[in-house]
Amino acid sequence: MSDPARMALLALALCALFSCADMRRDVPAIPDDIRDSAQARVDHGWNHALVIGVIGPGGRSYLTEGDAEPSTLFELGSMTKVFTGLLLADFIREGEIALDDEIDLRRLCPGLDRIVGPPLLFETLATHRSGLPRAPANLLAAPGDDPYANYGRAELCTALAQLDPAARGPERYRYSNFGYVVLAEALADLGGLGFEELLAERVGRRSGLDDTAIYLSAEQRSRLAASFDLDAPRAHWHHELPGAGGLHSTADDLLTLLGQHLGLFESDLAPLAAIAETPRYVAPNAQVSVGLGWHVEGDAERTIVWQNGRTGGHNGFLGYSRALSRGVVVLASGTGAVDDIGLCLLDPRRTLRSRPEEVPLVAEELHAYEGRYLLPSGNHYELSVRRGRLFITSSTSSLPAALFSLGGDRFHVPLVETGLRLGRGPDGEVRQLVIEDPGLVAERVEHP
């Protein structure tokens, strides 16, 4: 028997005794604390299905919990912005536009010459510095669990034309889905195609991602993870105007994308990735910089490029570290955030969030919290009971979020990872609602 044949037989024998993944030390391992945390999140109902994927020079590692596989499709939410940023990078690389070019409003919205405030530039839209609010006012007024389904170009142009001067902030970092929808539509107009077709032609053909799409085939829909907010089933989201959100993908496809960003294999996408990840603006706290669709943070030795995303019932994290030659994808159904898992896999100095046990409340206790709570700004929150659980809705978002009871008038909001508590008056009646981060206090003004 030849030496190569002996070595092949030895490798097979060793793989029978040990995990082949363990033998390939250059394949990134998923640590035990991450595995334990993922299992606990599904066991406790924070997430219903969860996939973690890691890619490095030696290949890929996966961990799945609940009803999920690397080929399960999830809604990407704001991770769609990574693809919009790549599309913008392609226009820049081809010399068709410059970042400091102004959006042609008349082309986007015929009859609209200007809007209040400074001009909208490709760069300020892409780096969340356009001054546009997080969401258009006429989207926030739309009821239902699928807020983007019937929001089209006409509604977008109406929102731009009727923009309240008070809603247009200064040109500093202010996360804006509104801005990314405007950006995506402006690029689609320049390319002469719908956004999905343009994305497929100019980014998809370079990346070879077969399971990343806005509109799913019947076979893909059969692999789409169910949507939940804690234990409450939610409708899947649909986007008439994608770009800020709207894409679906799998852990397998997204690891391929990250491998191309990291140069782990040859790809025509690499020049676009280099443009998109370049920091264009440093946030005031100097901890996070903003690229085209990406956030960039960390020191020179441990820079992390990342984006997260949430919808009504899915959430996820996408990021990579060139220093580690590692990319990480975390996709989940349920609204328990998973950013901490992704960041810990890219920087071992990070810590995982603890997940408290829920304290059950009876219907009478829940209904005692219902009502409208007014902020000094004039915005308000509504607390209501649905399907045996308390939900909060903000006047700046049409999406109700489930609350996780911690007992003692304290709650957690998994959708936005913040704490909430209710304050009572001398008579024992609930009088205040306090959002712990960023410390907002709202006074109760209406009861059911």
Quick one: which of 319, 312, 178 has its CA closest to 257? Answer: 319
Quick one: which of 402, 280, 269, 346 has its CA closest to 54? Answer: 346
For residue 49, is it within any domain?
A: no
For residue 57, is it within any domain?
A: no
CATH number of the domain encompassing residue 433: 2.40.128.50
Instruction: Identify whether residues 434 and 303 lie together within a single domain.
Output: no
320, 79 in Cβ contact below 8 A? no
Strand-strand pairing, 371-374 and 49-56: unpaired
Instruction: Identify whether residues 337 and 220 lie together within a single domain.
Output: yes
Quick one: which of 111, 109, 290 has its CA closest to 120? Answer: 109
Record the tokens describing residue 381, joined without a space: 């929150």
Instruction: Identify whether residues 282 and 375 lie together within a single domain.
Output: no
For residue 281, is it within any domain?
A: yes
Instruction: Identify whether residues 228 and 372 lie together within a single domain.
Output: no
Q: Say how far apart CA 158 and CA 176 lie, in whole Å.
A: 17
For residue 414, is it within any domain?
A: yes
Per-position pLDDT tens, the chain of length 448: 444 344 333 333 333 333 333 323 467 789 999 999 999 999 988 899 999 999 999 999 999 999 999 999 999 999 999 999 999 999 999 999 999 999 999 999 999 988 888 899 999 999 999 999 888 888 865 556 788 988 999 999 999 999 888 777 667 888 899 999 999 999 999 999 999 999 999 998 889 999 999 999 999 999 999 999 877 788 999 999 999 999 999 999 999 999 999 999 888 999 999 999 999 988 766 678 999 999 999 877 789 999 999 998 999 999 999 999 999 999 999 978 899 999 999 998 899 987 777 899 999 999 999 999 999 988 899 999 988 889 998 887 767 788 989 999 999 887 777 889 999 999 999 999 999 877 889 999 987 7
Q: Say how far apart CA 321 and CA 394 lie, in whole Å.
A: 36
Phi-psi region of 117 (alpha: psi -120 to 50; beta: other; left: phi over 0): left
Range of the domain at 12: 1-30
Record the tokens describing residue 234, joined without a space: 């939610």
Instruction: Identify whether residues 2 and 116 lie together within a single domain.
Output: no
Record the tokens describing residue 429, joined without a space: 């009646």
CA R_g for the chain: 23
Q: Say how far apart CA 168 and CA 310 lie, in whole Å.
A: 24
Non-local (6+) Cβ contacts of 2 within 8 A are: none
Instruction: Identify whether residues 136 and 248 lie together within a single domain.
Output: yes
Polymer length of the chain: 448
Is 0.75 surpassed by the pTM of this model?
A: yes
For residue 291, is it within any domain?
A: yes
Instruction: Identify whether residues 214 and 186 lie together within a single domain.
Output: yes
Q: Say how far apart CA 216 and CA 333 lie, in whole Å.
A: 18
CATH number of the domain encompassing residue 128: 3.40.710.10
DSSP state of 180: H
Instruction: Identify whether residues 254 and 200 lie together within a single domain.
Output: yes
Instruction: Identify whether residues 21 and 108 lie together within a single domain.
Output: no
Instruction: Identify whether residues 338 and 370 lie together within a single domain.
Output: no
For residue 16, is it within any domain?
A: yes
Q: Which residue is it, tokens 């689609």?
A: 188
Q: Of the residues 314, 346, 378, which one is the last residue of a structural domain?
A: 346
Q: Say how far apart CA 169 and CA 172 lie, in whole Å.
A: 8
Instruction: Identify whether residues 396 and 254 lie together within a single domain.
Output: no
Query: Looking at the 3D structure of the chain, how many domains does it have?
Result: 3
For residue 15, is it within any domain?
A: yes
297, 311 in Cβ contact below 8 A? no
Non-local (6+) Cβ contacts of 208 within 8 A are: 256
For residue 65, is it within any domain?
A: no
Instruction: Identify whether residues 367 and 320 lie together within a single domain.
Output: no
Look at residue 180 in the predicted model and tell me its pLDDT.
97
